[in-house]
Structure 1
Amino acid sequence: MKKTIFFSLIGLVVLVILLGGIKGLQIKSMIAQGEQMAPPPTPVTTAAVNSARWSMALTAVGSLEAVQGVTVTAEISGKVTRIEFEAGRAVARGDLLVQQDVSTETAQMRSAQASMELARLNLKRARELLPENVITRANFDTVEAAFKQAAAQVDTIRATIAKKTIRAPFAGRLGLRQVNLGQNLSEGDPIVVLQSMDPIFVNFQLPQQELALIKRGLTVNVTTDALPGETVAGRITAINPVVDRATRNIRVQATMVNPEEHLRPGMFVRVAVALPTIREVLAIPATAVLYAPYSDSVFVVEPAPADGKAGKGSVVRQQFIRLGEKRGDFIAIASGLKAGEVVVSTGAFKLRNGQPVVVDNSLAPDFTLTPKPEEG
């Protein structure tokens, strides 16, 4: 009985060892097959690293400012009797905005004009009598002075009426109304903001070391989030003669046409000053770059090594690079690539170093230096 149990246990152990050996051989075979199996190549679009001639540009951030801008205020105290403008409308120079009460001045004007007319007649008679020595020269001077005083009184009242008749000092666009009908305005009370919109200034600052590169007349290209995909051109019209002591920057002003008034004073803009100097750069599509805090990189497409698992196809190699200026859909490469190399232009984020790929540019996007977004 004991011998039977003993032999049964031995047989069971042998069976377990045999099954374990068979399973181990199967796993080893599967591992070997997995090592020999290459993943299918990933389709990618590519672009060549091309040498291009780019005009140099100085970039900065700036803000827009009206060529003429003012808050129209009351010059003298008075009650508002008429409001002749609508908020947000364009006005011409001299258009009536607000009329203050001038009833008292109008009455005073009639009296002053009557006094001036009487003084004029007296002066006329005095001129006729003076050559005949009917009146003395002193009397003539008194009559003449009386006429001038009467005329001055008329001019004073007329100036008061003009100050209470508030007109647009220049052509532009009005802001929000800040007065109401019947309101008593004091001297200096705001009425409405008036801004000249076309042309418009853009103010920006450049480092002092760039002073030798800039001059009046250079083209300035301005972009803003308010006009996506559009570039507005202008020209440098003024360079501040004083360098800021705190920042060592110099303030520059450019003027741009703004017929549709899409650009408004106070807006933030990006500025690029086009310089006449041309330089050679290596450019690739900006979509090819993998941006990272430690270093930016691209994937270079190369023939697969002869002893590799990718066969005779292509593989990608991650290459770290240093970036330069961005222009349109392209970005300049300061170092890390050579002309003629081919990089993955889209979808680089899904690749890994050494991964087999197949090039398919049938759906590759068109890259340009002056992209224009399609209208939806």
Structure 2
Amino acid sequence: MAKRVILTIVGLMIVISVLAGIKALQIRRMIDNETAFVVPHETVTTAVVRAESWESLLTAVGSLEAVQGVTVAAELPGKVVQVAFDSGTKAEKGELLVRQNTTSERAQLAGAEASVELARLTYNRTADLYKKKTVSKSELDTARANLRQVVAEVDSIRTVIAKKTIRAPFAGRLGIRQVDLGQILSEGDGIVSLQALGPVLVNFLLPQRQVAQITTGTIVRVTADTHPNTVIEGVITAINPEVDAATRNIRVQATVPNPDEMLRPGMYVNVVVVLSVREDVLTIPVTAVLYAPYSDSAFVVESSKNGEKGGTGKVLRQQFVRLGEKRGDYITVLSGLEENEIVVSRGVFKLRNGQAVVVDNTLSPDFNLEPNLENN
């Protein structure tokens, strides 16, 4: 019985030893395979760290205002008998817009003009008689005063007629009509908006610390979301003499052209103020940056010797960087990189430090400081 137990134990030990040997052989084979495995090289596109001179810019959001813009209104009460314009059309200076009823004024004008004619004849006869010493000086003065009085009455009636004949005070674009035929207008009732859409004014605010950097004549560039790829250039024409005590901002006004009436009063626009000084910067594509909460980084492509084969290859070095201003497809690097270093230009999220790579720029995108929908 004891001999049988011993044999059983010996058999179990032999089986365990065989299994352990097989497992050790498998582990050794896996280690050898992993050692022999060569990680395939990642194909990347690259860009050169460039030294450039950028314009110094100030940015703001502005609001557009017409150089001349009013709501044409009635000066006197009256009934509308003629509407001589269509909504949305252009009007020249002095063009008739609305005519109010002036029947009574024209009737009064006819009588007043007859009175003027009579008073002028009376004055002329009195002047002739005064020369012949047949009338006194006071009679001549009375005739002269009567003539002036009736002339003033005629001028007053004509003024009323002119005020009821409403014309465009300047050339511009008319808005939507606010009156109809037969409508009784009161003094001050609006008729139509009239906006001069030649050059337009851009009002915007800048912090007080930047006031010393601008002056009248400083160039501004304006873009609107209605035409995002169109940049309109103008100049600063006025700077408010006082700073807002609540916000410590100063109001600035620029004048910009308005080709094809693209800009309309009341629109908001993006304003870029171009300063006279330029800034020397190092730039890389925005897509070359690996953004992270602890620090941003870029992958620098370096040459590395292949010890086993005696050749050379390309490997990556992850370099932490401090970034600055972004413009278009580029961003400035304040520290961490040197001019002419080569960095991976895109796909950096899938890379790691020390990784072997192959450079292929045949599919490298075009980077632009002023990208638009076409080149983006």
TM-score higher than 0.5:
yes
1:373 deviates by: 3.9
- Give me the TM-score of the superposition, normalised by structure 1: 0.88
Asked if structure 2 preserves the Cα contact closer than 8 Å seen for 1:119 and 1:147, the reply is yes
Asked if structure 2 preserves the Cα contact closer than 8 Å seen for 1:67 and 1:196, the reply is yes
- Give me the TM-score of the superposition, normalised by structure 2: 0.88
Structure 1 stretch 156-165 or stretch 291-300: which is displaced more? 291-300
Question: Where does residue 263 of structure 1 map in the other structure?
Answer: 263
Question: Where does residue 204 of structure 2 map in the other structure?
Answer: 204
Question: Where does residue 110 of structure 2 map in the other structure?
Answer: 110
Structure 1 stretch 291-300 or stretch 1-10: which is displaced more? 1-10
Alignment of structure 1 residues 287-298 onto 2, 5 Å: 287-291=287-291, 295-298=295-298
CA distance in structure 1 between the aligned counterparts of 2:293 and 2:96, rounded to whole angstroms: 60
Question: Where does residue 252 of structure 2 map in the other structure?
Answer: 252
1:238 deviates by: 1.1
1:149 deviates by: 1.5
Listed one character per residue, the Cα deviations across residues 213-270 of structure 1 (whole Å, up to 9, x for unaligned) are 2111121122222222221111111111111111222221111111311112222222
Q: Name the SS for the 2:259 alignment partner.
A: coil
Q: Which amino acid aligns with 1:88?
A: G
1:296 deviates by: 3.7
> Structure 2: any 5+ residue segments left out of the alignment?
none
Listed one character per residue, the Cα deviations across residues 97-156 of structure 1 (whole Å, up to 9, x for unaligned) are 111111222222112212222212222222222212222222222222221121111111
Change (3 A) 1:369 1:150: same
Percent of residue pairs bearing the same amino acid type: 55
* 2:98 equivalent to 1:98: yes
CA distance in structure 2 between the aligned counterparts of 1:260 and 1:151, rounded to whole angstroms: 48
1:68 deviates by: 1.2
Question: Where does residue 278 of structure 1 map in the other structure?
Answer: 278
* 2:322 equivalent to 1:322: yes
Question: Where does residue 22 of structure 1 map in the other structure?
Answer: 22
Listed one character per residue, the Cα deviations across residues 312-341 of structure 1 (whole Å, up to 9, x for unaligned) are 433334433333233343222222222122
Question: Where does residue 349 of structure 2 map in the other structure?
Answer: 349
Change (3 A) 1:375 1:138: farther
Listed one character per residue, the Cα deviations across residues 68-105 of structure 1 (whole Å, up to 9, x for unaligned) are 11111111111111112222222211111111111222
CA distance in structure 2 between the aligned counterparts of 1:135 and 1:3, rounded to whole angstroms: 176
* 2:138 equivalent to 1:120: no
What is the count of residue pairs matched by the alignment?
374
1:27 deviates by: 4.9
Structure 1 stretch 315-324 or stretch 354-363: which is displaced more? 315-324
Asked if structure 2 preserves the Cα contact closer than 8 Å seen for 1:230 and 1:372, the reply is no
Alignment of structure 1 residues 44-193 onto 2, 5 Å: 44-193=44-193
Structure 1 stretch 71-80 or stretch 135-144: which is displaced more? 135-144
Q: Which amino acid aligns with 2:103?
A: S
CA distance in structure 2 between the aligned counterparts of 1:35 and 1:97, rounded to whole angstroms: 91
CA distance in structure 1 between the aligned counterparts of 2:31 and 2:108, rounded to whole angstroms: 111
Q: Which amino acid aligns with 2:184?
A: N
Asked if structure 1 preserves the Cα contact closer than 8 Å seen for 2:216 and 2:235, the reply is yes
Q: Name the SS for the 2:162 alignment partner.
A: helix
Question: Where does residue 239 of structure 1 map in the other structure?
Answer: 239
Q: Name the SS for the 2:365 alignment partner.
A: coil
Q: Which amino acid aligns with 1:95?
A: E
Question: Where does residue 221 of structure 1 map in the other structure?
Answer: 221
Asked if structure 2 preserves the Cα contact closer than 8 Å seen for 1:61 and 1:270, the reply is yes
Q: Which amino acid aligns with 1:336?
A: G
Question: Where does residue 301 of structure 2 map in the other structure?
Answer: 301
1:372 deviates by: 4.8
Q: Which amino acid aligns with 1:122?
A: T
CA distance in structure 2 between the aligned counterparts of 1:127 and 1:375, rounded to whole angstroms: 87
1:7 deviates by: 6.6
CA distance in structure 2 between the aligned counterparts of 1:280 and 1:85, rounded to whole angstroms: 57
CA distance in structure 1 between the aligned counterparts of 2:197 and 2:295, rounded to whole angstroms: 44
Q: Name the SS for the 1:158 alignment partner.
A: helix
1:17 deviates by: 6.3
Change (3 A) 1:9 1:221: same
Asked if structure 1 preserves the Cα contact closer than 8 Å seen for 2:94 and 2:168, the reply is yes
